[in-house]
Amino acid sequence: MIAERKRDSAQEQFVEARRSQILDAATTVFAAKGFERATIRDIAKTAGVADGTIYNYFENKMAIMLGIVNRLNESDRREEDLRQIEGMDTRTFTRRYIAHRLGMFTGKELELFQVVIAEVLTNRELRDLYMKQIIEPTFAISEAHFRRQMAKGKVNADDIPLTMRAISGMFLGLLLLRIMGDTYLESHWDAVPDLFANLLLDGIDKTE
């Protein structure tokens, strides 16, 4: 039984590795061509497998896309990230947090984000999934954190949910502009966390 479990586990690991390999390939191809323009053959070639093999791991093309979105699910939102730096002073915390989150969108992750946003904008089903699974939980965590900080008298806002959306919006929008190839943003990307923090705090900071 142990042997079997081991085999199962090895098996599972193999399957997971294959899925991952295909998702990696799909992310690259989707980022380069968009979901519709990307072909199964493109993905298969990039993954180094045959066309048919893809269908042993994903039911159809859309399932690959969902697989990609679910990856965000795993990597995107980690409450502990917040906890670790929560003790610092507000400005440092904000700067660090923004830097950390921006740092999560580098290279492959930025591609991933690009792919998902683009598709989310044209696919209601995916859009709803993305809202429910990614955006809303993220807002919930952020709000909770914000309320804690407000309780400590560190920040202030009249409408917390809307403020969260504005802040997230700035984050999203900056990523969007970056993806769209804004050259200034690209060359000054490292300066973004500080600027973001200052812009943000000198509005919401009440500690002074």
Considering only 23, 25, 57, 164, the residue that binds DNA (CB under 7 A) is 57
Distance CA 93, CA 82 (A): 9
Q: Is 176 in the site for DNA (CB under 7 A)?
A: no
**Number of amino acids touching DNA (CB under 7 A):** 20
Q: Is 37 in the site for DNA (CB under 7 A)?
A: yes
Partner whose footprint covers residue 153, from DNA, its own copies, none (CB < 5 to 8 Å by kind): its own copies
Q: Which residues bind its own copies (CB under 8 A)?
A: 33-37, 89-91, 114, 117-118, 120-123, 127-128, 130-131, 135, 153-159, 161-163, 165-174, 176-177, 179-182, 184-185, 188, 191-192, 195-196, 198-207
Q: Which amino acid is residue 46, in one-letter code?
A: T
Task: State the CB neighbour count (10 A cutoff) for residue 193.
Answer: 19
At what angle are helices 108-120 and 2-33 packed, to 10 degrees?
70
Considering only 20, 24, 32, 55, the residue that binds DNA (CB under 7 A) is 55
Q: Region of 80 please: left (phi>0), alpha (psi -120 to 50) or beta.
A: alpha
**Residues in contact with DNA, shown as a per-residue x/- string from 7 to 36 under the rule CB under 7 A:** ----x--xx--x------------------
Partner whose footprint covers residue 51, from DNA, its own copies, none (CB < 5 to 8 Å by kind): DNA
Partner whose footprint covers residue 39, from its own copies, DNA, none (CB < 5 to 8 Å by kind): DNA
Distance CA 10, CA 4 (A): 10
User: For the chain, first and last CA: distance in Å?
Assistant: 64
Q: Is 53 in the site for DNA (CB under 7 A)?
A: yes
Distance CA 135, CA 130 (A): 7
The CA-atom distances, in angstroms, between 199 and each of 62, 144, 192 are 40, 22, 10
Where on the chain is the footprint of DNA (CB under 7 A)?
Answer: 11, 14-15, 18, 37-41, 49-53, 55-57, 60-62
